[in-house]
Amino acid sequence: MAVKPVGQSDSESAASPTIGGTLKTGAHLVRRFVGSLSSRPPSETDETWALDLLNTGQVQVWQQMSPQDQRHAIAVARDVSQRLSEVEGPAMASDWFDDAEQFRRAAAVAALLHDCGKIVSDMGTFARAGATVLWAVVPDDKAEDWQQRSGARRRLAEYRMHPTIGADLLRAADSQRLIHTWAAEHHQRRETWTVPEPVGVLLKECDDD
Ligand SMILES: [Fe+2]
């Protein structure tokens, strides 16, 4: 299977994950925004499919995610699963997995839960849009300072830090390395990933579709 390279924004930080650095543009962003206005839960079929992939701790994390985020996550994870069904064995992640089925399940869960850290900031669609714009212009190192504050600044910092927060939640939920590492790295530049590069490319590409 050919996996197209994923473009990187020049404004992305090599040292740490950025929200502003991964601002998406055009029709994709508009579609995501409009879709996120509906609080319709995932279909029963989709929900059952997702829950079957998760362990007990991950289910508790999943159930705190918004319906909008769950729907998007399922769409991404189904895309990942479909593409991996066309691949022979775990060759894309041979250093991390021996078993193809274990790899495919872990990759799907990584897609399902990579944004779970957003449950802590608990922002709605419009607040997230504002936060994304704000973090495009405010230096990233403000986030650590603001995380010690209260009110709006704290929540903005928590939104900015959602990759780290999500990784912590997923480690606490006894997740495999690919799952919590992708949560931590999914806004980082490709050059700084520690996840197997072809897997990161696939996960990123499915999220951006
Ligand atoms: Fe994210």
Ligand 1: centre distance to CA 197 (Å)? 18
Whether 9 is covered by a domain: the verdict is no
pTM above 0.75? yes
The residue length of the chain stands at 209
The domain of 107 spans: 20-33+42-208
Task: Tell me the pLDDT of the chain (209 aa) as tens digits.
Answer: 433 333 333 333 333 445 555 445 567 667 666 667 778 999 999 999 999 999 999 999 999 999 999 999 999 999 999 999 887 767 888 889 989 999 999 999 999 999 999 998 887 877 788 788 777 877 888 778 888 887 888 888 889 899 999 999 999 999 999 999 999 999 999 999 999 999 999 999 999 76
Q: Are 104 and 84 in contact (CB under 8 A)?
A: yes
What does the DSSP assignment read for 17-86?
Answer: --SGGG---HHHHHHHHHHTT--PPPPHHHHHHHHTT--HHHHHHHTTS-HHHHHHHHHHHHHHHHHHTT
Whether 15 is covered by a domain: the verdict is no
Whether 120 is covered by a domain: the verdict is yes
Number of domains present in the structure of the chain: 1
Ligand 1: centre distance to CA 115 (Å)? 5
Whether 183 is covered by a domain: the verdict is yes
Ligand 1: centre distance to CA 12 (Å)? 13
Whether 14 is covered by a domain: the verdict is no
Whether 155 is covered by a domain: the verdict is yes
Ligand 1: centre distance to CA 162 (Å)? 7
Distance CA 133, CA 94 (A): 38
Q: Burial of 56 by CB count in 10 Å (0-12 exposed, 13-18 middle, 19+ buried)?
A: exposed
Ligand 1: centre distance to CA 117 (Å)? 8
Ligand 1: centre distance to CA 186 (Å)? 6
Whether 6 is covered by a domain: the verdict is no
Taking every pair of Cα atoms in the chain, the longest distance, rounded to a whole number of angstroms, is: 50
Whether 171 is covered by a domain: the verdict is yes
Ligand 1: centre distance to CA 52 (Å)? 23
Could you tell me the CA-to-CA distances from 45 to 85, 153, 176 in Å, in that order? Answer: 19, 38, 25
For tokens 């929900």, the residue is: 47
Q: Give the number of other Cβ atoms within 10 Å of residue 147's Cβ.
A: 17
